[in-house]
Structure formats: C-alpha cells, structure tokens
Amino acid sequence: MVRATRLRILILAGSLAALEACSGGGGGGGNGALEQRQLSAGGQQRDVWTYVPPGLGRGAPLVLVFHETDGAGDDALRSSGAIALADAQQLVAMAPQARAMNAGDWDNHVAGQRFFETYPNTSPASNNDLQLVQAMIADAQQVHGSDAKRVYGLGLSNGAFFAVFTAATMPDQIAAFAEASGGLVTCPSTGSCTFSSGAGGTCDDLASQPGYCSCSGDEKPAPLPTTGRRPPGYLAHAADDTTVSVYYSCSLADRMLQLGYVSSVNIRPTGGHVWPPDFATTVWPFLTQQVLP
C-alpha cells in the first residue's frame, strides 16, 4: 500500500493564474487538478506533483516527467507540455521533486544541488529515486487506475539522464522513454566533452565535424540492458547545446542501434539547453506505440 499525504490541490479552470500563483509563472495550464502530495519511498517522504485531466477514466497511460538540475516537478509538467498532453490524450502526468544531495556526481553536480541519483547506484533496492518512481507507478494505479503496461518517462538534462536511467534499470516497468538534452556518457563526466555545432545535421554529420568527441568507459547514467526487454527511446538534442553536448545523445543513439533497440533520433540545429514547449505532445506519437508485453 502506498501512503500519501495531501498537501494541496490546485483546481485549474482554464486559467493560467492559478498555476502562476503557485510557482511564479509559466505556461501549460490545464482544466484538471494539479496536486502536490508526499509519497513514502524507501522510508523517506518525497514530494510528487500529479496532474489529472477532467473526466479521466480508468486504464489511462501514465507519463512520468523528470525536471532538470535544481528544477521543480510542477514547472516540468508545464514547460514540457505534459499538462496539455494529459488534457488532449486523457492520461495521468506525474513529476517527482529531486532531493538536495550531499555530494556531487559524474554529471557535474556539486553538493547541495537538487538532482536525480543515477550511476553508480543503479539498484532499485537501494536508489531512493528509483524507489520513488516505483511508488509513483503504484500510486497512479491505486488512485487513478492507470495502465501498468503504458508507463512512460520523459525528462530534460539531468531529468533526461534519469529518464534513460529508469528505463535501463526498470525495463519491465517503463514502456518507453523520451530524453531531451541527455544521452549516454562514457566520458569521465558530462563536462568532459564540450562539442557543439552551429551547423546542425544528423549524428553522422556531426561526427565528421572538428572537435567531435570520442570517449570510452562505464556507461552513465546506467548500462543499457543487453538481454531481456530493451525499452524504446525518443532522443532529442539541439546541436548548439553548450551545457550537455549533443555528442551524448548521439552516443546513446549509436549504442541503442548496436544493441537492436527501437529509437527515434531528433537533432535540431539550434535551441540550446531547453526542451521545446510542446515536447510532450511531439514525442507522444512515438511513445504511445510502445506497450509492455
């Protein structure tokens, strides 16, 4: 049984003002209920935002939205377009809040920043963020009757790496993922590769440009499964991203191709280190085709 404590509910009557009052602005308002609650995960109480559109029936898909470093779950629901997607497609959208961590990691984080934990703690038995994802899935099924075979993760930056991470470590619970400005890192750290391009092009085009990186080492945020189920992924990155190099999404694309994964690779020439405001609705046609057996 998942224990939850209601903190507040925002009833959105098509007005952006209700959301802005809560978090200081931003787009993506909806007509349903945006609720902040706490779920028990691995002995900790963790903050989670849930958006449910009006008239939602049982058996709806669940979309998990993961924010960037020092971001916020409610903002990620809006900035990704997940609220608009939930209204249009009748699904549940949930976003966890990352913890302030005591130490940095391979993704250029420092102590005190809020980010999702990944490599080297890849075990759902000990990684509290993975435990939270499991609690979110169980809660959505218990409270809203969501479909256990249609659970999807999407994220930006650290959240993008975490979307890859959840799919790689929970392949029998995550039907598919979508990452924006993340990828697969085999360099010592995210900052090890600073390649960016104003010319854009495909990953093959970028690989032929001066300064393109070449790394080998442990796969981060987690090794991709080489046996069993291999979760499909939608990969998106701006070639001119100077915060997380497009090299890492291209590396993920190459590794997925090598291992026989289904993927959709989308490199846009410009845009920097953000996700488009319609990201969730853009990736949905790909995600909704993927269903757990």
CA atoms of 285 and 75, how far apart (whole Å): 23
Does the pTM surpass 0.95? The reply is no
Q: What is the pLDDT of residue 33?
A: 87
pLDDT digits (tens, 9 = 90+) for 93-111: 999 999 999 999 999 999 9
Close Cβ partners of 181 (under 8 Å, ≥ 6 residues apart) = 156, 157, 160, 236, 237, 238, 241, 243, 244, 249, 273, 274, 275
End-to-end CA distance of the chain: 24
Tell me the CATH number for domain 4-287: 3.40.50.1820
pLDDT digits (tens, 9 = 90+) for 28-80: 567 888 999 999 999 999 999 999 999 999 999 999 999 999 999 999 999 99
Mean pLDDT of the region 143-149: 97
- Strand order of the β-sheet with 176-180 is 4-11, 33-41, 44-52, 92-96, 62-66, 151-156, 176-180, 233-238, 263-268
For residue 39, give both structure tokens. Answer: 């779920």
Among 162, 204, 201, smallest CA distance to 180 is for 162
* Better pLDDT: 149 or 14: 149
List b or e across 68-99, with b for residues whose CB sees 16 or more CB atoms inside 10 angstroms.
Answer: bbebbbbbbbbbbbbbbbbbebbbbbbbbbbb
User: What three-state secondary structure class fits 233?
Assistant: strand
Residues recorded for the chain: 293
Tokens 């377009």 sit on residue: 81
Domain ranges of the chain: 4-287
136 strand-pairing partners: none
